Structure 1
Amino acid sequence: MKHVGILAHSAEGSSLCYLTLCHAGSSKLGDHMHPDITMSTIPMGLSMSDWEQENLVPIRARLVKSAERLSAAGCDFFVCPDNTAHLALESNGPELQLPGLHIADVVTTEARRQGYRKLGILGTKWTMTKPMYFEAAQRKGLQAVAPNEMDRRYINEVIFSELCKGVFTDVARAKHVRIIDSLKASGCEAIVLGCTEIPLLISSESSPLPTLDSTRLLAHYALEVALGAQDLPNWRGGPAN
């Protein structure tokens, strides 16, 4: 089996990815079995002011440092269970020391496999407005749309003031359901839970639309790579293709 590296950025999302990878491994390999996993986590708080200024250079440098740690630990490839962090990883800079799965590529590949044509994107304000998911969808022949500006501001605030701190309320859940309903009314056929904490708030049962859970999809795809059912990725940062 291949050795999986988790390049973590936010705590809740990376924890969910880790646990999903362990549990999925046990379901395929037997009790208490899963691929070797190493995680590197530089505190996200060091990057928050850089995110607000959209200064990707120091953010990317921290993520590169984590990738170097994973490579030194013997990982064969990495996953980064943080959608927004991929914006920094896609920015200009030296190649990463090991290849990784691109979360938007994993999600849109699954969307196409399931036959969806129009996707609603939920995530941080950067994930919902920057080109990453929209271009990834376009490469698969799909359309992606984001909520309106007011709803984007609300989702972003909840992510950082509640979800990233492990706080999940019925009020936030109800408001997210309303936002998903509005995307459904605009013709979306599925909703991308494009912040790795949102799946802890919104489940497939509570959502008015089928969900594409970026966190768990990434973990399951990583397991397939680790077991040799999928090829090793070749993306080492920079623009996705």
Structure 2
Amino acid sequence: MKRIGIIGGLGPESTVDYYKRIIEAFRREGSLAAPEIVIYSVDMEEVLGLVARQEWDALTALLAARIGALHRAGADFAAISANTPHVVFDRVRAQSPIPLLSIVAATLDKARELGLGKVGLLGTQFTMQANFFAPVFSARGISVVVPPAADQEYIHGKLMTEIELGVIRDETRQGLLAVIERLAAREGIDGVILGCTELPLILEESPSGLPFLNTTAIHVESIVGYAQG
């Protein structure tokens, strides 16, 4: 069994979700067995500040240093438990002493498994505007579209002032579902990427039956499979 390393804190709520999902994936009836996990919880405000200022060299250096710390703590591989920092994933992976599992690549695999052709992307404004999902998906024949600017501001605002802080409101859930309905009507999407690992905490399934790609669950599946393999 490989020892798991996780860059967490981006944010804390989703890091807890990662941890619980990984443990549950290994549980067997009557057994207390669980994988060894090393978590480095970073300062979310510092990371988002670097992203907002587009200081990609500094962000790369910060994440690479934390992954180096996971390696020294005994992790055999690592994952970053958030979508937004994947804007520099390739640069970080090039400096990493251990394998890194991409949330974008794992989500692409799931979209292809479901036979999707055009997906909507919800997440922080950074994720929706940074364009690091679209090239990976388009290379495999899947289009990625995002909501218009006003809806992007709504999603980002709710993430930063409520969901990232563990505040879950039904009013916000309905607002997010309305954004998805408008995007589906305008773009004809056949699936939605929940491209912030906090979004699955408030959006579990679509009332219209539109598939939600839960990036947390998808990434965890990849992590568990790699640890076991």
Question: What does residue 109 of structure 1 align with?
Answer: 109
CA distance in structure 1 between the aligned counterparts of 2:171 and 2:226, rounded to whole angstroms? 38
CA distance in structure 2 between the aligned counterparts of 1:67 and 1:91, rounded to whole angstroms? 13
Question: What does residue 47 of structure 1 align with?
Answer: 47
Q: Is contact 2:68-2:96 (8 Å) kept?
A: yes
1:37 Cα deviation after fit: 1.0
Q: How many residues align?
A: 227
Q: Under a length normalisation based on structure 1, what TM-score does the superposition of the two structures give?
A: 0.88
Q: CA 1:132/1:95 → structure 2, altered by over 3 Å: closer, same or farther?
A: same
1:183 maps onto 2:183 in alignment: yes
CA distance in structure 1 between the aligned counterparts of 2:205 and 2:97, rounded to whole angstroms? 36
Q: Is contact 2:93-2:99 (8 Å) kept?
A: no
Q: CA 1:184/1:31 → structure 2, altered by over 3 Å: closer, same or farther?
A: farther
Gaps (5+ residues) in structure 1? 229-241
CA distance in structure 2 between the aligned counterparts of 1:140 and 1:117, rounded to whole angstroms? 10
Question: What does residue 221 of structure 1 align with?
Answer: 222
Residue identity opposite 2:175 in structure 1: K
Instruction: Report the aligned-residue RMSD.
Output: 1.8
CA distance in structure 1 between the aligned counterparts of 2:68 and 2:112, rounded to whole angstroms? 33
TM-superposition CA deviations, 1:54-83 (whole Å, max 9, x none): 212222222112101110111111111100
CA distance in structure 1 between the aligned counterparts of 2:36 and 2:143, rounded to whole angstroms? 36
Question: What does residue 146 of structure 2 align with?
Answer: 146
Instruction: State the secondary structure of the residue aligned to 2:39.
Output: strand
CA distance in structure 2 between the aligned counterparts of 1:168 and 1:97, rounded to whole angstroms? 38
Question: What does residue 95 of structure 2 align with?
Answer: 95
Q: Under a length normalisation based on structure 2, what TM-score does the superposition of the two structures give?
A: 0.92
CA distance in structure 1 between the aligned counterparts of 2:153 and 2:90, rounded to whole angstroms? 24
Gaps (5+ residues) in structure 2? none
1:199 Cα deviation after fit: 0.2
Identity of aligned residues (%): 28
Question: What does residue 20 of structure 1 align with?
Answer: 21
1:49 Cα deviation after fit: 2.6
